[in-house]
Structure 1
């Protein structure tokens, strides 16, 4: 039983590069580097040698050959040579009667690992390479130890030859298979993200051209009319006013696109969300009245403190309220309610409307850079808002029923005042 525990520990050390890869590269848009392979393999090798187990009298079992093979495959020959030097130095430090035999074995094994690593990278049948490598890395140390030290009990050789070979094969197979799968998944994710980025850019470019072309076409048409009748001053004045309005609309469109491309600020300060909502209510009240929509606020009288960027939180609230008002502007009794409450350490803002609502498919696409339920506008307001809320540490949830209404629930971690 103790042998099984020791071998299990060695297999755990073998998986250190895989575990560290999933931790370190989980949120990064790149795959592993040779330096990462070297560092994790070095740690794995040192731990394996420090906690090596004696499978047979005269034979120390650890996963040094597994790590050496892994380092050569994924880190290259330079990484492999550094691991070899590390092993030699640490083995000399540990000392013992069998240190010179151990050094001879690792040098021979390293030479064979170079061959196996090259075959592994080019072979289609990687499982067979793993099997052969596992057998060789198990048989070679036992054979050389027996020849040079004569320290085995003959009756133990068949049993330990089988068990150690199995553990070496399992160790190589586990590490190589899991790590290669993790790398493959990461590279697939990066490719998908890059394709998504290209698709997004193409949609934004097409949308920008479409949105800007409309007012420019109008300006072009009215300038032609002015050219044809320059003496008709009332008409010219009317046309110039329309042209100026279209130019302002173009500026607003470009501002929307710049807001989504500009990096969001990470300069956050403590603000009173309750006071912010009251201020935004006063700002948006005329817009709601113009669309025959009632705008109601329910907020605590006491401060509700969060960490956020004041300008960005205002823009976020304006975007959500504007969308809510427009969604119920055609209702007989349109109403938008802002409800702010606190639950434990969270500030929760609900923005409810009784407008047209959304389907499940539409809700799943909210926040996408080219999706909107409206036929007009740049369709970037909610995209900006979702990103800003995420940067400020908040979350957004949505619940909607077609022809009934929509509720956006925005939550932020509260920032309590110091006593």
Structure 2
């Protein structure tokens, strides 16, 4: 058998294998092929028709009776995976190529029409099998058809059977089918597994968000419930009632803020974009946070240079409101918050620097995760909103931090076209 495995045999297998990889590469990157079976079958026909022609154009061996090649492998693959229609079109391609390259031979038409009918009938059963059973069926079907059509050729045309014919038409094709079907099934399983992993990751994020939200909202609601029950106490002084009501309102506002952060993260980014001046919008954000900074003994240093970017003003303000608020909360004992913006080539660079508690390397790596926060009562939703907004505006975020020394955030946006 080893004497029959030569460069031409490997070339034929190479043509088929490359066509299989091309099919799955295009199929994996084209949603239309996954949605419409007709498009998928058209792609399969093209990818299996190509190696049929190449196998005949560059055969393994030619003798006086026939041409030896592996054309039956892509022919059978196309029919098994695409059905009778794909097999019929491949039959037309095969006969047309055979006639153009070597001339028409009626026995060839009979042989491959027999293969088409038998394989098309077996295709539905093949699809329902598990991978191991598909491998077995592909081998035995190829071997059975080779023996069947050989007997048919002997009966009809008194076809002489040589050693080369037995090896190249009866023995080697089933082995080639085993190899090709194994590759196809492995690629299919890899694509299915990747799709499942993407769904699992999405569900994991949703479950983590749900758990985080439910936990964070339950806390203020429990406080509200408790104080409402206390308000039922007879002869409660009015100033105590007012204090209880204020605490309940504060907790309701906290729950509302959590929900708003979650909705900002979850809802699609607005299509409304416009040219905005970074220095002007940052100045507005700083003014909103000035009372909070003053209460925490924090000095805000501004170094804002004019610079224009394209984005949604509302989301831009919310993004930097969250980031600056985080920086202020990272300095419970006071400190300095420096915010600057500058032009650098075709980019606008915004820097936020605080002198707060800082973050560890692990905390930096987890910055923006859906359920991670460095604050005792934080949900991590604010940083999620900020990171999502920066990404939506084609920006990049870089973090430098050292524990007990502070954190520096560098956000780079593309400059708006003049």
Q: TM-score range by the shorter chain?
A: 0.7 to 0.9
**Residues 123, 13 of structure 1: CA spacing in aligned structure 2 closer, same or farther, 3 A cutoff?**
closer
Higher deviation after alignment, 370-379 or 241-250: 241-250
**C-alpha deviations, 1:4-48, integer Å up to 9, x for none?**
7676445422322222134336xx9x9787445413202213433
Matched with 1:15 is 21
**C-alpha deviations, 1:75-102, integer Å up to 9, x for none?**
xxxx311212222444565572436444
Higher deviation after alignment, 201-210 or 378-387: 201-210
**C-alpha deviations, 1:200-220, integer Å up to 9, x for none?**
333333333333333333333
Counterpart among 293, 301, 306 of residue 296 in structure 1: 301
> How much does 1:128 deviate?
5.3
Aligned residue for 1:194, secondary structure, equals helix
Give aligned pairs, total.
402
Aligned residue for 1:228, secondary structure, equals coil
Correspondence 1:215 to 2:215:
no
Correspondence 1:122 to 2:126:
no
Aligned residue for 1:366, secondary structure, equals coil
Counterpart among 164, 181, 193 of residue 158 in structure 1: 164
In 1, Cα distance between equivalents of 2:155 and 2:354: 84
Counterpart among 73, 96, 108 of residue 65 in structure 1: 73
Quick check: 2:16–2:48 contact (8 Å CA) kept in 1? no
Aligned residue for 2:373, secondary structure, equals coil
Quick check: 1:44–1:67 contact (8 Å CA) kept in 2? no
* CA RMSD across the alignment: 4.0
Aligned residue for 1:15, secondary structure, equals helix
Quick check: 1:41–1:67 contact (8 Å CA) kept in 2? no
Quick check: 2:12–2:69 contact (8 Å CA) kept in 1? no
In 1, Cα distance between equivalents of 2:13 and 2:202: 46
With normalisation by structure 2, the TM-score equals 0.77
**Residues 179, 132 of structure 1: CA spacing in aligned structure 2 closer, same or farther, 3 A cutoff?**
same
- Listed as ranges, the gaps of 5+ residues in structure 2 are 1-6
**C-alpha deviations, 1:365-403, integer Å up to 9, x for none?**
222211111111332111122222223333333333322
Higher deviation after alignment, 226-235 or 384-393: 226-235
Higher deviation after alignment, 407-416 or 144-153: 144-153
> How much does 1:118 deviate?
4.2
In 1, Cα distance between equivalents of 2:121 and 2:409: 59
Correspondence 1:183 to 2:184:
no
Quick check: 2:227–2:248 contact (8 Å CA) kept in 1? yes
Matched with 1:323 is 326
Counterpart among 257, 271, 283 of residue 252 in structure 1: 257
Counterpart among 268, 275, 280 of residue 275 in structure 1: 280
Quick check: 1:276–1:314 contact (8 Å CA) kept in 2? yes
**Residues 186, 230 of structure 1: CA spacing in aligned structure 2 closer, same or farther, 3 A cutoff?**
farther
- Listed as ranges, the gaps of 5+ residues in structure 1 are 74-78
Quick check: 1:321–1:351 contact (8 Å CA) kept in 2? yes
Quick check: 1:69–1:117 contact (8 Å CA) kept in 2? no
Of structures 1 and 2, the one scoring higher in RCO (CA 8 A, sep 6+) is: 1
In 1, Cα distance between equivalents of 2:343 and 2:169: 60
**Residues 6, 300 of structure 1: CA spacing in aligned structure 2 closer, same or farther, 3 A cutoff?**
farther
**C-alpha deviations, 1:278-334, integer Å up to 9, x for none?**
332333333323222233333433x333x322211111111111112212333x6x2
In 2, Cα distance between equivalents of 1:113 and 1:359: 63
Quick check: 1:53–1:60 contact (8 Å CA) kept in 2? no
Correspondence 1:310 to 2:310:
no
Higher deviation after alignment, 285-294 or 59-68: 59-68
In 1, Cα distance between equivalents of 2:232 and 2:168: 95
Aligned residue for 2:179, secondary structure, equals helix
> How much does 1:181 deviate?
3.2
Correspondence 1:53 to 2:57:
yes
Quick check: 1:134–1:169 contact (8 Å CA) kept in 2? no
Quick check: 2:304–2:341 contact (8 Å CA) kept in 1? yes
Matched with 1:192 is 197
> How much does 1:153 deviate?
12
In 2, Cα distance between equivalents of 1:71 and 1:289: 76
In 1, Cα distance between equivalents of 2:150 and 2:275: 67
**Residues 402, 173 of structure 1: CA spacing in aligned structure 2 closer, same or farther, 3 A cutoff?**
farther
Quick check: 2:300–2:337 contact (8 Å CA) kept in 1? yes
Aligned residue for 2:363, secondary structure, equals helix
